[in-house]
Structure 1
Amino acid sequence: MSRQFFGTDGIRGRTNKGAMTAAMAMKVGQAAGTRFLRGAHRHRVVIGKDTRLSGYMIENAMVAGFTSVGMDVVLTGPLPTPAIALLTRELRADVGVMISASHNPYEDNGIKLFGPDGFKLSDEDELAIEAMLADEIALADAPEIGRARRIEDARGRYIHAVKASLPNSVRLDGLKIAVDCANGAAYQVAPSAFWELGAEIVAVGVNPNGKNINDRCGSTHVGLLQETVVTAGADIGIALDGDADRLIVVDEKGQTIDGDQIMALIGSQLAARGQLRGGGVVATVMSNLGLERFLCGQGLTLERTKVGDRHVLERMREGGFNVGGEQSGHMILLDHGTTGDGTVAALQVLAALVQSGKRASELLHLFDPVPQLLRNVRFAGGKPLEAAQVKTAIADAEAALAGRGRLVIRPSGTEPVIRVMAEGDDAGEVEAAVASICHAVEKAAA
């Protein structure tokens, strides 16, 4: 069965359009609730959200859906995605829901689902829920309709778990940290966790109004944080995205540190302590060749997957790895959680900064990235990657980069775009390779 609604990270789209309406959210609640009505116990779902205006609408619709099939609802209010994964397990819930479109603008929203183990749903569960969306769903008898309640200690539970990811001996006293929470789900919990560990905090992106989530702030727009770090004289800057499962760092000079350097730091430090499992790190095809060479030099491997933290997590679980992520900032540390957690990953970086006595610019520059270029080519229809001239251009570029770089050519899963990425030791060769392939795609799509 092909997927109609679920993408690589749940269901996502423009609110009040297509799949992201109140009616559809209620139906998803009914279907997911029915799927996880297992056993004779009283069933429970945990529902969290980020700070989008449409979160109220989607939340209420999902409450109606879950309660109508006999499932009790626990509401947390705005919390990071990893907090909902954690609470789903801690509260022994049957399913967890995070209402968020991650780093997207406020006009979008999404629904991420977690199983009782706190991991995102399997393909089997997602396909089963999709199938139910097309059918009538049996509703609970009147005495079995679920109840809904809001819990007040959800933030405290998550902050405690985040702090527990560090040894008791590690404190952040004397560290000045600029934190950009993207006006999103972590606007309260992330600054609080860092402050409680002793740091001095300069917080931005912590005044959500329903429409300013990810708006010129957060991990996808680091200009605000760069300016804040330099102006405030901070030791380091921490940028999260709308649902706080991504982390991008800014050093004391205002330079951006991406997920590849963060994975290099965390992976190599765990390896030095004998705590890295799987013999290496899992990342996607988009991670820089420099990361792969650095890990090789440490006697470690880089396992590559398709783009998407879902694919990274699948490979981590298959191979017994405990560190994985994406260049874009998703950081999955399976010793501390079941999904990407920007706040937990930030604490590992901050602890290393304190323990090393180094400046962030020195600590977080473990390798020189090779020149990497990514361009997107939009097309009107058809399958341009199957055109003979495109195949020839790709083969020629591969031959030119052989032994000195690599290509990644992939269609977008959400829009009519071909993504063309090349990297290699020679910036000129990289640019020529990307230009030739993009030109061939444009001609084939004309």
Structure 2
Amino acid sequence: MAKRYFGTDGIRGAANGPKMTPELAMKVGQAAGTLFLDGPTKHRVLIGKDTRLSGYMLEQALTAGFTSVGMDVVQVGPMPTPAVAMLTREMRADLGVMLSASHNPFDDNGIKLFGPDGYKLTDEQELAIEALIDSPVERVSGDRIGRARRIDDARGRYIHAVKSSVPDGVRLDGLKVVVDCAHGAAYRVAPEALWELGAELISIGVEPNGLNINAGVGSTHPQMLAAKVVETGAHIGLALDGDADRLIVVDETGRIVDGDQIMGVIARNLHQAGQLKGGALVTTVMSNIGLEKFLEGLGIGMIRTAVGDRHVLEAMRAKGCNLGGEQSGHIILADHATTGDGLLAGLQLLSVLVADGRRASEVLNCFTPWPQLLKNVRQEPRVLETDAVKAAIAAAEKALEGRGRLLVRKSGTEPLIRVMAEGQDEALVTETVEAVCEAVAKAA
């Protein structure tokens, strides 16, 4: 059954637009609260958010919805998405909610839901919530209305958890690190965790004003970070996105390093230590063939899934793997977290760097990527069903046959068509992507 509200990563849309309204947020609170109420005891939901201006509005609307059906609410303020997942489980909450549109601009927002185990909800649970959103919900009597409170120690709990993932005895003394927090959810926790571990720290993207999240900074805009790393002579730079569930790295030369190289380094390190579970890395169809060849050389398998960290995590749990992620920088370390965590992945990478002793440019260049090109075209998904687009895709696939691959898909979070090709012939890769993008752009 198709979903009306939920996409690949929760509910997302323009804040105060047709979809992401305070009215919908209140209904989501009532629906999710009703679904997760079980038995006569008091129930608790934990709500976190990033730094978007609209977060205040949606937080209060959600709180009204949850308390109206009898759920107590714990508000933790600006916190990374993985922190909300961790705290939901640690505080024995029945449900966790993160208000964020991840790497999108400030004028979007979203609602991500986590179950009591800290994992994102299943399709079945999301469909059940959608059914309740569209149905009358029974509110509780006045004496059973839930209570809301804000806690102040959530930041310290999360910092302690991510620091605990670093091997005993490892410190970052002498390591100059630039961290870019995208003016987002990790603007306080990431610098504090790195400083406590001894890094010589330079922070950018740590002055949120409600409107500047992801604006020219963060993992989707790492150019400022690259310039700062070179300017300051730093050993490495870490870029998080708005809700800090993804990581992009910059080495000491200013070269931008994507999630494929990060996963390759961590996979090799875990494999050599005998700690890589399931004998494989789980990643998506977007990951470079160069990564696959590198892992083959180490005797490590690679399992590909559909795009989305949710699909990656499902495969990890099914196959018993403890490492997975996406080229975009979602890195899931299942021994420590239930979802992608940019800060956690960054600390693991810094630990490898300290133990290895070489420069970041050497450690983070573990394979040579095949030429790969990804372009986005702003179009509605229905254009993929037109004859012209189908013909362009067929022609591109034939041109790449035996020499590469083509992937055309709709975005799960924006009205975009994503066109990616890779192969050993860079000119052919460019030619095929341009041809498909032109056909998509012209389609009505």
TM above 0.5, one fold?
yes
In structure 2, the partner of 1:307 is 307
Could you tell me how far 1:221 is from its partner in structure 2? 0.7
Distance 1:394 1:279 in 2: 35
1:231-289 CA distances to partner (integer Å, 9 max, x unpaired)? 11111001000100000000011110000000000111101111111211111111111
- Helix, strand or coil at the partner of 1:106: coil
1:138-196 CA distances to partner (integer Å, 9 max, x unpaired)? 01111111111111110000000000001221111111100000011100101100110
- Helix, strand or coil at the partner of 1:6: coil
Letter in 1 for 2:324: G
Relative to structure 1, is the Cα distance of residues 302 and 386 closer, same or farther in structure 2, using a 3 angstrom cutoff?
A: farther
In structure 2, the partner of 1:89 is 89
Relative to structure 1, is the Cα distance of residues 293 and 151 closer, same or farther in structure 2, using a 3 angstrom cutoff?
A: same
In structure 2, the partner of 1:138 is 138
Say if 1:373 and 1:421, in contact at 8 Å, map to a contact too: yes
Distance 2:379 2:126 in 1: 30
Could you tell me how far 1:376 is from its partner in structure 2? 3.0
Could you tell me how far 1:438 is from its partner in structure 2? 3.3
Could you tell me how far 1:430 is from its partner in structure 2? 1.0
Letter in 2 for 1:190: A
Distance 2:262 2:279 in 1: 17
In structure 2, the partner of 1:36 is 36
Q: How many residues align?
A: 444
In structure 1, the partner of 2:435 is 436
Distance 2:329 2:83 in 1: 17
Relative to structure 1, is the Cα distance of residues 380 and 410 closer, same or farther in structure 2, using a 3 angstrom cutoff?
A: closer
Letter in 2 for 1:432: E
* Unaligned runs of at least 5 residues, structure 1: none
Matching of residues 14-29 of structure 1 within 5 Å = 14-29=14-29
Could you tell me how far 1:413 is from its partner in structure 2? 3.6
Say if 1:257 and 1:364, in contact at 8 Å, map to a contact too: yes
Distance 2:378 2:214 in 1: 24
Relative to structure 1, is the Cα distance of residues 333 and 65 closer, same or farther in structure 2, using a 3 angstrom cutoff?
A: same
For the pair 1:186 / 2:186, whether they are aligned, the reply is yes
Could you tell me how far 1:362 is from its partner in structure 2? 0.4
Relative to structure 1, is the Cα distance of residues 439 and 102 closer, same or farther in structure 2, using a 3 angstrom cutoff?
A: closer
Distance 2:190 2:409 in 1: 35
1:76-95 CA distances to partner (integer Å, 9 max, x unpaired)? 11110011101101110000
Say if 2:261 and 2:367, in contact at 8 Å, map to a contact too: yes
In structure 2, the partner of 1:280 is 280
In structure 2, the partner of 1:249 is 249
In structure 2, the partner of 1:406 is 405
- Helix, strand or coil at the partner of 1:278: helix
In structure 1, the partner of 2:270 is 270
Could you tell me how far 1:219 is from its partner in structure 2? 0.5
For the pair 1:222 / 2:218, whether they are aligned, the reply is no
Letter in 2 for 1:423: E
Could you tell me how far 1:415 is from its partner in structure 2? 5.0
Distance 2:384 2:327 in 1: 27
Say if 2:381 and 2:416, in contact at 8 Å, map to a contact too: no
Relative to structure 1, is the Cα distance of residues 3 and 273 closer, same or farther in structure 2, using a 3 angstrom cutoff?
A: same
Relative to structure 1, is the Cα distance of residues 155 and 315 closer, same or farther in structure 2, using a 3 angstrom cutoff?
A: same
Relative to structure 1, is the Cα distance of residues 80 and 380 closer, same or farther in structure 2, using a 3 angstrom cutoff?
A: closer
Distance 2:214 2:390 in 1: 38
Say if 2:181 and 2:218, in contact at 8 Å, map to a contact too: yes
In structure 2, the partner of 1:76 is 76
Relative to structure 1, is the Cα distance of residues 144 and 380 closer, same or farther in structure 2, using a 3 angstrom cutoff?
A: closer
In structure 1, the partner of 2:417 is 418
In structure 2, the partner of 1:326 is 326
TM-score by length of 2: 0.97
1:103-151 CA distances to partner (integer Å, 9 max, x unpaired)? 1111111110000000000111100000111111001111111111111
Distance 1:247 1:380 in 2: 28
Say if 1:385 and 1:441, in contact at 8 Å, map to a contact too: no
Distance 2:373 2:408 in 1: 12
Letter in 2 for 1:56: Y
TM-score by length of 1: 0.96
Could you tell me how far 1:437 is from its partner in structure 2? 3.0
- Helix, strand or coil at the partner of 1:31: helix
Say if 1:177 and 1:199, in contact at 8 Å, map to a contact too: yes
In structure 2, the partner of 1:101 is 101
Could you tell me how far 1:58 is from its partner in structure 2? 0.6
In structure 2, the partner of 1:427 is 426
Say if 2:217 and 2:224, in contact at 8 Å, map to a contact too: yes
